[in-house]
Structure 1
């Protein structure tokens, strides 16, 4: 009896170890897949804050939550089933879809670079949102934009785990979908509330709180500029890398073969930092490919009759525009702080005491 019980416990322990190993494998694969989708994730994070411009402060976080719920619905209800069906019965389509997604990323990144060069700032900024219907319209537009970005994220992640068993693929993509949504919209929530947090701290009596608050307000333009710049670079890099590797999978080996050969040569030639230099070489080559392909697509799109009139309104915000809006917010907050301090000084002056 005791031997049977010990045998049963041993089997249970073995199953538990196997389950733990499987969870670790899923976690590692999900992390690898998420890293490959980094460019789209950064772009998603850079794009979303524009949707809460002109929104009352108390409605910012509720709107971000609504967009996040729409994003997770996009990933789990629409994209995930389609991606799994595709990987199960038509895996040969994955490189083709990835090339389309990579071209789109290269196109977006090149558009932003071109916008910076021209100093183009005439994209529409959402007007003040008032009323339930206006809020629904705003959220619906953000969720539609998220659908494109989420599809790119999930297909890139799927390509990294295409050789895994079906149930492992399902678990990994579920983890990727939830983790990316939480990270993206958590960061977006922090960005859109930075000025409010800064103002609240700046109006406290503590000198250290005031310094931190003013620093947060002053730092907001820099944060938006960095997020936008990193998003642009990441789109070109990831888009170009997808184009190189996917074209190699489809049989055109020369471009990726050349980059990979030089990358390996650099890694072996330079002791210590060879791996880092090889990665940088691959990244620069990928960004150049992304910029070149993006330039072709941008040129073609602008030559077509329908052009690109409305694309930037829904998806793109140039760095200069982000900086201008953030600086306006910073100036307004600084004025509020100054008025608060003048009122505080007046209340404690000799005249005020009388």
Structure 2
């Protein structure tokens, strides 16, 4: 039992160290005052969008050198709405369901964007600055999640809680090792020339294989990539029912753990079961160190993520319970599906 408690304590120290590194290095997309004129081709899929005017936020960006390539659904009613709303706009190109938007792009850069992501003014300039300054092939931005309902206070902080305690984000660019890989498929900016030259994805969009896998793929080709937090410039609004958000959270966190059941079980033991065992096994004086490590880690993660540290500290036990349940359900669901094939 003592060895197990020591292992938990060592893990808490390591997680705190990674979180402290992220906090001090501040891996956020910073606002750049430089101006660029390169054309950016934004690739979106009409079937993912809802609402009356889904592209208005993009069209009102302060960065005007953009073209938006919309892959239509093939549904006559939906496509008619898109043609009516945006068919006349010179920056919007509506493409048929079988057309590859990447090959139709005229820009020097390709931006793959999910409908839940909102780009603030200055975001595209800042992303271009990172691409050009560090000669990146891929820049992946993890949007800051904006709360849209009561379930979000339990689900929203979990991904960044795992991410910022596992991966030192600045080392993704500084190290060529695939071990330092993390990213989001919600917002990915590519150098189009390199992207098309390498023929990485035949018939697949980056989102189809996931952000982490895409980062690893770029590193395997010995090309430069970077992952940053969206901060105030790139935000994401959760959509869907509580059940949908629950499943999405489990899948995203499971991906951070390499989609490996053994890694998942180890993480659950160290993060959920371990602190509980410490609480019931140690006296109050000995609990000060692990409690302090958890306390400080949550505060730093909250500030980096733009979340309320008070809420995260108060709800920490419930959030860990939700994390454990979502990961178990995700792993069980994937195991069952693999057995049915």
TM-score in terms of structure 1 length: 0.22
Please state which structure has a larger fraction of its residues in helix: 1
Higher radius of gyration, 1 or 2: 1
TM-score in terms of structure 2 length: 0.22
Please state which structure has a larger fraction of its residues in strand: 2
